[in-house]
Amino acid sequence: MGKVAERRARTIDAIVAAAVDVMGETGAAGLSLGEVARRVGMRTPSLYGYFASRSALCDEIFRRGWMSYRDDIVAGAGLSPDTDVVAFLSDLLTAAVDWANSHRAHAELMFWRPIPHWQPSPEAFEPAIEVLADAIASFARAKDLGLLRHDVDVDEVAQAWAVLVAGVISQQLSNEPGVAAADGRASRHAAALAAMFVAHYGRHSREDTP
């Protein structure tokens, strides 16, 4: 990458960072290009040299959000035949809530639809699809390892899991922000949901009569 391209990439990063800050403070719909420009030391029109429109900026934040979520949450998930599935999923859920708390702007765009007349473009959607595919693959591996019922439909399992994630993150974002998920109440909450999930889809379920 040449020097100009590098400098350009840094500027783009700065713009995105400022936009994320504004969204974090006011809610995603409170994004204003004027405020973003002010924070990066530009005038509003200069932003258009880096982003075609306000929507394109939202697209980029959405895209980076899913990439960050994948790297921070999904990637570290290692399964082995003697994984404690309840503890594993409980930790995953807690991590997701913590992530949403510290990436409020991204999370709003990813799990809600807060901006009038904006929806993610197909290109911006790609990392999101990747995350879903990863989740399905993980559940399939868990099934192969004997951690899940032998007769489950992994697509159904992944969808149920997605509902749980969307539910806890939505509740977190719509309640006072910044309240850590790692305190006692939230941890027990996550553990209960994980236990519920495993009661139905886990190997020891009563439907599992070999």
Binding site for DNA (CB under 7 A): 4, 7-8, 11, 31-35, 41-46, 48-50, 53-55
Task: Report the alpha-carbon distance of residue 114 to residue 102 in Å, rounded.
Answer: 18
The CA distances from residue 6 to 11, 12, 18, 92, 184, in Å, are 9, 10, 18, 35, 45
Q: Which does 11 bind (CB under 5 to 8 A by kind): DNA, its own copies, none?
A: DNA
Are 80 and 144 in contact, with CB atoms under 8 Å apart? no
Rounded to the nearest whole angstrom, what is the least distance from the CB of residue 105 to DNA in the complex? 14
Give helix 3-26 / helix 33-40 axis angle, nearest 10°. Answer: 130
Instruction: Supply 131's token pair.
Output: 């995350």
**Interface residue with its own copies, options 51, 69, 139, 201 (CB under 8 A):** 201
| C-beta closer to its own copies: residue 21 or 111 | 111
Instruction: Supply 127's token pair.
Output: 């990392």
Binding part of the chain for its own copies, among 6-14, 69-77, 114-122, 132-140 by CB under 8 A, reads: 114-122
Question: Under the criterion CB under 8 A, does residue 45 sit at the interface with its own copies?
Answer: no
Rounded to the nearest whole angstrom, what is the least distance from the CB of residue 42 to DNA in the complex? 4
Instruction: Supply 11's token pair.
Output: 């500027």
Task: Report the alpha-carbon distance of residue 144 to residue 81 in Å, rounded.
Answer: 9
Q: How far is CA 7 from the centre of its chain?
A: 28
The CA-CA-CA angle for residues 45, 49, 55, to 5°, reads 80
Residues in the interface with its own copies (CB under 8 A) total: 38
Rounded to the nearest whole angstrom, what is the least distance from the CB of residue 8 to its own copies in the complex? 30
| C-beta closer to its own copies: residue 42 or 193 | 193
Residues that bind its own copies (CB under 8 A): 26-27, 29-30, 111-117, 156, 159-160, 162-168, 170-171, 173-174, 188-189, 192-193, 195-197, 199-201, 204-206
